Amino acid sequence: MTLEGIMHYLGFVQDVTSEWDIRAMPTFLFIKDGKQVDKIVGANREELDKKVQHYASASAVVTA
CA separation for the pair 37, 55 (Å, rounded): 10
Q: Give domain status of residue 17, yes or no.
A: no
Structural domains in the chain (count): 1
Q: What is the per-residue pLDDT for 9?
A: 84
Mean pLDDT value across residues 19-39:
93
Preceding peptide of 26 cis, ω within 30°: yes
Length of the chain: 64
CA separation for the pair 26, 13 (Å, rounded): 14
Query: Which residue segment(s) compose the domain that 55 sits in?
Result: 25-64
Q: Give domain status of residue 61, yes or no.
A: yes
In 3D space, the residue among 43, 13, 38 whose CA is nearest the CA of residue 25 turns out to be 43
Q: Give domain status of residue 5, yes or no.
A: no
Q: Give domain status of residue 30, yes or no.
A: yes
Q: Does residue 14 surpass a pLDDT of 70?
A: yes
